[in-house]
Amino acid sequence: MTGPRCHGIVKSKRTRMNPHIAHIATELKKKLQSLPEKRDILKAPELRELYAQLKVTSQDERPAFGQAINQLKQELETMVLGYESAAESAALTPIDITAPFDTNIKPADRPHLLPTELGSRHPLSIERQVVADIFTRMGYDVLDSRQIDDDYHMFGSLNFPEGHPARDDYDTFVTEEGLIAPAHTSTMQNRVLKAGEPPIRSVLIGRVFRNEDLDAKHEHTLNQIEGVYVDRNINVGHLLATLKTFLDAYYKADLKFRIQPAYFPFVEPGFEFAISCPFCNEKGCMTCKYEGWIELLGCGMIHPNVLREGGVDPVVYSGFAWGLGLDRLVMMKHSIEDIRNFQAGKLEFLRQFK
Ligand code: FA5
């Protein structure tokens, strides 16, 4: 800022200035511009000198001379005030009206807020992207799953008839209007099948919810990765090769895995797919509940009723699907012993994944 914002001179009250005083006024105003401490101008020797001259001025000239000095002093005072208020405004941090907190409060005065540079991406967000990149390279479309759904997509479209006992395996949360917080990403299968003609290659990733007893492997809110592949002549060999290719790429290893038969109404045959526990090397520990293996996903060949409900002819086409827990996948990768760490909000845990 080069000058004061406002001089505040009231012109109508101004009398014509004595030329000697007018010259000193010009000099003092010039001097004021370069003074670091603007208020010092009011103690300038030139002003003191003028007051000294007033004492020796003749009685006739004294009133006008005195008035001119006062006018000059007032002008200088107004200019000093202008400089001071301009400096005060410049010292204020501009307000960012989009910020979620008051940026005028200095970091030292808001110890409850962390400096933004300390923030980091959540490990599940980082790994979600890694998973999406691998499946994209394998030729899949990667989409988000829905976080609120209905009975048809949760059960009806997936071959769970009304009153079927298998519905109880997916105990989740329901709104008063009857909407459902999905318990698995399989709710997306029907939409994917209806979206286009085979070949269908889609991966859906998203958050799901379960009314669950919590422990080191079970959360009420978790993330799943659903895969759907439909084409002519697809069989279980394609399913297992796909999962192994993905898991080897994700863990950068040649993994040991095992499958065992499992029942899901929307696949036939259905399997549970497990990898050996990296914490105990199959000996048994708290994390794997002394089983030596960690179950990562459910999978199988898509049931003909599900294909038909999705508008795909099961006589012409076949396909496979899987539902994989992202949280457990990441636990294995980083040797995280307890799934609850992801949502505990502990900074010591989260900062390890910068
Ligand atoms: C299902 O959710 C089926 N929709 C999977 C599926 C899809 C089968 C397509 C066939 C075809 P399941 O309830 O077993 O299945 O869950 C799948 C995976 O999600 C589990 O293997 C596990 O990795 C993860 N998972 C399930 N429940 C939890 C939980 N409470 N906490 C953490 N991970 C969980």
Where do the structural domains in the chain lie, given as residue ranges? 11-92, 123-353
Please choose, from the candidates 109, 192, 187, 198, the residue with its C-alpha nearest in 3D space to the C-alpha of residue 149.
187
**Distant-in-sequence, close-in-space partners of 67: CB < 8 Å, separation ≥ 6:** 15
pLDDT digits (tens, 9 = 90+) for 273-311: 988 776 777 788 876 778 888 888 999 999 999 999 999
Ligand 1, pocket-test mutation among 263, 296, 328, 338, most atoms within 8 A of CB:
328
CATH hierarchy code of domain 123-353: 3.30.930.10
Alpha-carbon distance of 232 to 318, in angstroms, equals 6
The tens-digit pLDDT sequence of the chain (354 residues) is: 334 343 333 333 445 668 888 899 999 999 999 999 999 999 999 999 998 998 888 888 888 898 899 999 999 999 999 998 888 878 876 666 776 666 666 667 766 666 666 678 999 999 999 999 999 999 999 999 999 999 999 999 999 988 888 888 888 999 999 999 999 999 999 999 999 999 999 999 999 999 999 999 899 999 999 999 999 999 999 999 999 999 989 988 877 889 999 999 999 999 999 887 767 777 888 767 788 888 889 999 999 999 999 999 999 999 999 999 999 999 988 989 899 999 999 988 998 987
pLDDT digits (tens, 9 = 90+) for 191-200: 999 999 999 9
SS3 of residue 267 by DSSP:
strand
Minimum-distance ligand 1 atom for the alpha carbon of 220: 30
**Distant-in-sequence, close-in-space partners of 186: CB < 8 Å, separation ≥ 6:** 158, 226, 264, 266, 321, 323
Query: Which pair of tokens denotes residue 24?
Result: 């000193």
Query: Which pair of tokens denotes residue 14?
Result: 């101004």
How far apart, in Å, are the Cα atoms of 134 and each of 95, 139, 242, 248? 43, 9, 11, 11
Minimum-distance ligand 1 atom for the alpha carbon of 302: 11
Ligand 1, pocket-test mutation among 155, 221, 222, most atoms within 8 A of CB:
222
Pairing type for strands 221-231 and 200-209 reads: antiparallel
Which residues on neighbouring strands pair with residue 317, listed in sequence order? none
Alpha-carbon distance of 97 to 99, in angstroms, equals 6
Q: What 3 state SS string does 163-179 have?
A: CCHHHHHCCCEECCCCC
For CA atoms 194, 195, 196, 198, give the dihedral sign. Answer: negative
Minimum-distance ligand 1 atom for the alpha carbon of 297: 21
pTM of full prediction above 0.85 = no
